[in-house]
């Protein structure tokens, strides 16, 4: 039997029995749609995560308190409070000649309180940082200035506002020189940051910044830092700088073996590799779950094709009586099933692409840097899975049809 003629007959069967064909293909359509949506949304989410990480630069090295496995997250990153990292450790790394490629560095501590300016209040995250913070994080000041080294070392009560905090507390009134209270302590506003938006999952526009030691002593009552960041002159020198940081901090903490480290050193490149590996594994896992719907759809197609064989017994008997071979009958039903699943796959691809596009538009409307990605590989894979489902689940009905005896088939009522 000619394959082209068989394909044309299969298409006619789809058109002739529209409702049954649609219901038969529904499982495959849903399965392929799920696969396309999961792959596209996974790629978009991955691009968002990677974009957030790379937005702060690839030449940053972070030091966190608490040890960790080489490729595992530090304990401090899991929200556990560890006090092993001190400002003195950061100062030791700033000594001229210790880190030749160091550009700037800062420690960080954080707290939450209500900021007050006159009668207005705003719940804020306050961040204690050092004067070089503006260099490390590429901060731009819209009004006034950032605090300097002298103010940082003398526990000055000065504060820099994020753009949204400034608007909430002062509206259109001047902010520079005014007083803002945190925890009953008064701070003089010396600067306002330019709007920056969200980077690395932080929105500095909604935060306020005070000198590190001031935050430690006046606001938090602690002597440790929760994070330190070091800006290196280029990404090529990041690995070398990481090793220097480890050797200096180990010497200061009296650590002989790396297995005893009470701190963790991570670069943005390390973080990027971890996130990429994790998100790739998650995408694969979710795609595998979505593909289970294809199995359900395949079972539905097999059932419908078995019914079709039962309904067309006389047709099969007639074809065999005029010379059709078992192979030709089997080929006919297999091709019909494959055509049906490929059409369903194409419909699922179109529907999945539309849904993924809507998700991408919604994410961009909300302000996220979301990448809309439907790759040719995913389209080819979806069509290939559809054809494979048709072949696998169409094999039994086709084999059953080919084994019908012509005489019995013609006598079937």
Residues 6+ apart with CB under 8 A from 141: 134, 160, 191, 192, 193, 194
| Dist CA 53 CA 183 (whole Å) | 32
User: What tens digit of pLDDT does each residue of 129-179 get?
Assistant: 999 998 988 888 999 999 998 888 888 999 999 999 999 999 888 899 999
DSSP per-residue letters across 318-366: HHHHTT--HHHHHHHHHHHHHHHHHHHHHHHHHHHHHHHHHHHHHHHHT
| Dist CA 232 CA 63 (whole Å) | 13
Whether pTM > 0.75 for this model: the answer is no
| Dist CA 262 CA 255 (whole Å) | 8
Confidence of residue 41 (pLDDT cuts 50, 70, 90): confident
62 beta partners: 229, 266
Residue 412 has pLDDT above 60, yes or no: no
Measured CA to CA in angstroms, residue 404 lies from 96, 307, 330 at distances of: 90, 14, 11
Could you tell me what percent of the chain has a pLDDT over 70? Answer: 77
Confidence of residue 215 (pLDDT cuts 50, 70, 90): very high
As a whole number, the mean pLDDT across the chain is 80
Q: Name the nearest CA neighbour of 300 among 363, 230, 390.
A: 390
Q: Name the nearest CA neighbour of 250 among 12, 4, 84, 14.
A: 84
DSSP per-residue letters across 56-123: T-SSEEEEEES---TTSPPGGGGT-------HHHHHHHHSTTT-TTEEEEEEEEEEEEEEEETTEEEE
121 beta partners: 116
Could you tell me what percent of the chain has a pLDDT over 90? Answer: 26
| Cα distance from N-terminal residue to C-terminal residue, the chain | 26
Around 311, how many Cα atoms within 13 Å sit in the side-chain half-sphere? 9
Residue 75 has pLDDT above 60, yes or no: no
Give the CA radius of gyration of the chain.
33
User: What tens digit of pLDDT does each residue of 377-392 get?
Assistant: 777 877 787 778 777 7
């Amino acid at each position: 039997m000619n394959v082209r003629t068989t394909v044309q007959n299969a298409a006619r069967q789809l058109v002739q029995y529209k409702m049954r064909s649609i219901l038969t293909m529904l499982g495959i359509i849903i399965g392929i749609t799920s696969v396309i949506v999961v792959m596209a949304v996974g790629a978009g989410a991955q691009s968002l995560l990677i974009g957030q990480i790379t937005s702060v630069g690839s030449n940053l090295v972070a030091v966190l308190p608490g040890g960790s496995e080489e490729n595992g997250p530090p304990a401090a990153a899991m929200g556990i409070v560890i006090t092993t990292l001190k400002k003195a450790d950061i100062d030791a790394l700033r000594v001229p000649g210790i880190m030749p490629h160091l550009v700037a560095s800062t420690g960080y501590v954080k707290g939450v309180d209500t900021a007050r300016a006159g009668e207005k209040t705003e719940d804020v995250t306050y961040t204690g940082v050092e004067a070089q913070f503006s260099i490390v994080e590429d901060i731009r000041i819209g009004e006034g200035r950032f605090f300097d080294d002298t103010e940082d070392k003398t526990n000055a009560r000065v504060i820099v506002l994020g753009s949204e905090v400034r608007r909430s507390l002062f509206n259109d009134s001047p902010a520079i020189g005014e007083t803002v209270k945190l925890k009953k302590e008064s701070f003089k506003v010396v600067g306002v940051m330019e709007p920056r938006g969200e980077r690395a999952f932080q929105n500095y526009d909604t935060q306020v910044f005070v000198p590190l030691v001031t935050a430690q002593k006046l606001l938090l009552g602690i002597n440790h830092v929760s994070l330190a960041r070091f800006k290196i002159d280029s990404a090529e020198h990041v690995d070398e700088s990481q090793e220097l940081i480890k050797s200096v901090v180990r010497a200061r903490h009296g650590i002989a073996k790396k297995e005893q480290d009470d701190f963790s050193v991570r670069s943005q490149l390390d973080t990027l590799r971890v996130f990429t590996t994790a998100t790739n594994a998650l995408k694969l896992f979710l795609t595998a779950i979505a593909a289970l719907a294809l199995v359900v759809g395949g079972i539905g197609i097999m059932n419908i094709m078995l019914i079709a064989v039962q309904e067309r017994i006389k047709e099969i008997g007639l074809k065999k009586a005029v010379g059709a071979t078992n192979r030709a009958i089997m080929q006919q039903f297999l091709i019909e099933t494959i055509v049906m699943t490929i059409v369903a796959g194409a419909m699922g691809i179109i529907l999945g692409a539309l849904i993924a596009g809507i998700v991408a538009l919604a994410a961009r409307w909300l302000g996220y840097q979301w990448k809309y990605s439907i790759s040719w590989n995913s389209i080819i894979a979806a069509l290939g899975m559809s054809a494979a489902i048709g072949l696998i689940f169409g094999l039994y009905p086709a084999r059953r049809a080919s084994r019908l005896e012509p005489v019995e088939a013609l006598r079937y009522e």
